[in-house]
Amino acid sequence: MTVATRNTLEENVNVYFDRAAGLTTHPAGLLEQIRACNTVCSFQFPVRHPDGRIEVVRAWRAEHSHHRLPTKGGIRYSADVDESEVKALAALMTYKCAVVDVPFGGAKGAVQVDPHTCSPEYLEHVTRRYVHELVKKNFIGPGIDVPAPDAGTGEREMAWVVDTYMALNPGQLEAMACVTGKPVSQGGIRGRKEATGRGLVYALAEACSQAEDMHARGLSVGVDGKRVVVQGIGNVGYHAAKFCRERGARVVAFAVPEGAIWDPQGLDEDAVVEHRRRTGSVLGFPGATSILRSADALELDCDVLVPAALENQLTGDNAPRIKATIVLEGANGPTTPDADEVFRTKGTLVIPDIYANAGGVVVSYFEWLKNLSHVRFGRLARRHQAASERRLLTAVEQATGKPFTAADRVTFVQAPDELGIVTSGLEETMATAYQEIRETLRQQPAAQDLRTAAFLNAINKVARAYLELGIFP
């Protein structure tokens, strides 16, 4: 009896790429260049544990494409990560940046360590030593390669990255732009932490605003009232649930490694997080039904399924049992190609990862620009804009003879601060990119789904960059 083997994430990404590439007329050599990972740096270094033990740690940094510089991509801490996964994630970053018109090439880094079992002191040693290696190998810098948080890392680790980089590059004016996802106090930008989750909901809102697409699937227009199942309650899953709920959706289930909980009346993400912190599990949450097998929650009756945890969660095996009408990909690579084929046949609307979870890199781009300019967004023009709006209100009052109330003035005069500028820029970016993908699908019916259309857009944009460089005739 033969045992079916599951493709790696790298193999799945290449399947998606090849499917879209087959719809283009680009030369085979150009497509091969876009598909290939340009540079992979694999290395190891020793780190001393607090108890004196010395451990040799494996690490990688992959730069998939240099058609735009710097390259951009997160640093993942995981005991299970390997080189193939790093290359796949770097490729996804190339396509993701192209889809949302962020001028970076794709990259990704990883350290083979379990952050959940390590002390903060040990993780700091690992992070700083990793940055030392990247600096020595010229794999980090504001105009070279700009890391960011990924699974297992966050603002704390990015603060260690920028501190180490600046210590090794004293006096470099743009040093703060060597990494994004930093704490605001260390050169970060407001809205970065929740950007991926917020971007997911902007993507969902844009998809749900298309009356033709919603009515074809028996759904109402808009996010309001949609029943949502979220896999994962980390940074991405938590914020996706929060912003869905704020737009009127009901998060009816959370699925995490230890199991899942379901409540058709809706769950509050803060209460679930607090229960899990206090008890060590989401199971037993008051008023909710506990589901011992986490994967079963993916098959619950809902309107929107948000896989926001790991890759290869929706497969050819469970896809026929998925009842969601919309799959909103919060994780990288949660859907396998055979599952995609099932969803295409069923008419499930899959909003693909290379678009849907691009909110993080969009706001990282804003942070990078802020660091290069050394000016907080809104600092120069905010009061000027507010004064202009007050003058406009005064002119309207004089023309109509009807004064505005104090409450009206507060409502109408709201010059944006940094967070407001960031969120509006993110919303505009996600809306524009979705319309481009949908238009590509309309013009290229052979693409058949949003994922192929998104890959097609990405390939065409990267190809155009290479052609403009004169590398290919």
Nearest one of 424, 455, 425 to 437, comparing CA atoms: 455
Distance between CA 330 and CA 343 in Å, rounded? 17
Rounded-to-integer distance, Cα 174 and Cα 368, Å: 10
Tell me which of 72, 87, 96, 108 is the catalytic residue. 108
In 176-253, alpha helices (H): 195-208, 211-216, 235-246
**Does residue 70 have a cis bond before it (omega within 30 degrees)?**
yes
Residue 356 to residue 210: CA distance in whole angstroms: 16
Strands 259-262 and 250-256: antiparallel
- Cα 173 from Cα 175, distance rounded (Å): 6
Q: Is 108 a catalytic residue?
A: yes
* Residue that the structure tokens 């084929």 belong to: 341
Whether 249 contacts 234, CB under 8 Å: no
All residues at 6 or more sequence positions from 173 whose CB lies less than 8 Å from its CB, including other chains: none
What is the number of H-type helices and E-type strands within the chain? 16, 12
CA distance 248 to 349: 20
Residue burial 388-408, b: 16+ Cβ < 10 Å; e: rest: eeeeeeeeeeeeeeeebeeee
Q: Just list the catalytic residues.
A: 108
